[in-house]
Amino acid sequence: MSEAMELEGKEVLARLGEAGYEAYFVGGCVRDKLLGRPLKDIDIATSALPEQVMRLFARTAPTGLQHGTVTVIMERYTFEVTTFRKESEYELFRKPKSVEFISDLNEDLRRRDFTINAMAIAADGSCIDPFGGQADLAAKLVRAVGDPMERFHEDALRMLRGIRFACEYGFELEPDTWSALLAHAALLSHVAMERVSAELDKMISGHAPDRAAELLYRSRLPRHFKQPIDWPLANGEAGTEPAWPAVLGLIEGSELRWTALFVQLGMDAEAAKEAMKRLKFAGKKSDAVVKLLKADAWMKERATDVIRASDTAENAKAGYGLVALVCVEFGKPLVREWLRLAAWREEALGERGWLVFAKRAEEWVELVAADKVTDLAIGGSEVAALLDKRPGPWLGLLLQELLAEVALGTIPNERTSLLEIAKIRVKRDNA
């Protein structure tokens, strides 16, 4: 995909060049190309003004005209094309008050955050690198463009971006850049939590989540979030280097990694829910992590005896029963995810017995005949009609009772049998 995207991007450069304008690949795509990494997208900087860009291409979208950005839509890919610009004084430590369109590429590159992001590639493949980005790539350094104190004062989010780049690429933060980050940590309180959470999510989902957690702790940045969060990551002190075990990287998936981080930090479902609420995470992701933590606590409370017991038929029966009930409580899809967390508990935290239990439980999950009321061979309205009773709380409780027994395998999931059992249960409860 990168090669096809690059070819189309070069078509954009060529058309701009034929019209008499300068145009270059810029930013992250240059960094990733020089590192030999696949390109996720390609940004283009040009001397052409937005209206001139729109006249040159058949399909465009005015995605950011106030900032000089036009999205050019080619046959397969889209490209953000932005006029060379320099930025005025920043306000609220995040955004420039205004932008000025210019004709100088070097001035455009000067406004960027780090040297590894302040390079350009021309249509002929030559690299424009006025601030030593290639040398810093070779030295594996994240270095601010110019004065790091000024760069972080302009945009406080750059501090989190610097940590993310260091973790993602296995780089170090250049000493002056790190010192400026520590000095300006308090400015992060001006940055919207949505922007903070986006950076944190990329770190935890990225190549080195454990190093990200360590650098966040050491930098003290989490203690300065706009919405304070009561978690151990906010307790770091300058210069401290805690023994941060490399365990998050042993599990894959953003939701599972966040769950594992909260387990590692000793935070329960309620504490994690509050943290993710303050971080402005999407409800779907937050709900998934909270449910995983609840399932983890539910199983830890009940599974200890099963895990410690010898491998006997009676123990297998108890293990299956436990898995059947957790499937009814949380649903099979979530339990399958939790089993990966259970295996991680042994692999990462050294809690014995979970790996064997998780392997066996994978088979038990598939044997569970039903994990939600809609899986039952009867419906609530059918039961209410048979018993000539108005639906109410009693019906939900009855169906959950039947579901648990079907999951355990003590009664069959057959319409006739379930209706008969339902009739007997209601008579019993009314006796």
- In order along the chain (431 residues), what is the average pLDDT of each group of 10 residues? 88 96 96 93 95 95 88 96 76 58 90 95 95 98 96 94 97 97 95 96 96 92 94 72 78 96 94 96 95 95 74 76 95 96 92 88 93 92 85 90 94 92 81 52
Which residue matches tokens 């000024």?
150
Q: Which two tokens stand for residue 89?
A: 């004084």
Nearby residues of 244 by Cβ (< 8 Å), 6 or more positions away: 210, 211, 213, 214, 217
Cβ atoms of 231 and 270 within 8 Å: the answer is: no
Nearby residues of 57 by Cβ (< 8 Å), 6 or more positions away: 12, 15, 72, 73
Cα–Cα dist 235/220, whole Å: 7
pLDDT of residue 101: 83
CB atoms within 10 A of CB 20: 9
3-class SS of residue 184: coil
Cα–Cα dist 155/94, whole Å: 4
pLDDT of residue 239: 52
User: For residue 103, which amino acid is it?
Assistant: S
Torsion of CA 189, 191, 192, 194, to 10 degrees: -110
Cα–Cα dist 109/111, whole Å: 6
Cα–Cα dist 144/178, whole Å: 9
Apex 251 CA angle, 249 and 254, nearest 5: 90
pLDDT of residue 241: 57
Task: Please report, for residues 22, 36, 60, 71, 123, the alpha-carbon distance to residue 78 in angstroms, rounded to integers and kept in the order given.
Answer: 19, 21, 9, 6, 17
Cβ atoms of 368 and 404 within 8 Å: the answer is: no
Which strands, in side-by-side order, build the sheet including 43-46? 60-64, 69-73, 78-83, 43-46, 23-26, 120-121, 127-128
Cα–Cα dist 5/351, whole Å: 47
pLDDT of residue 88: 46
Nearby residues of 326 by Cβ (< 8 Å), 6 or more positions away: 295, 298, 299, 335, 338
Cα–Cα dist 355/357, whole Å: 5
Cα–Cα dist 292/261, whole Å: 12
User: For residue 384, which amino acid is it?
Assistant: A
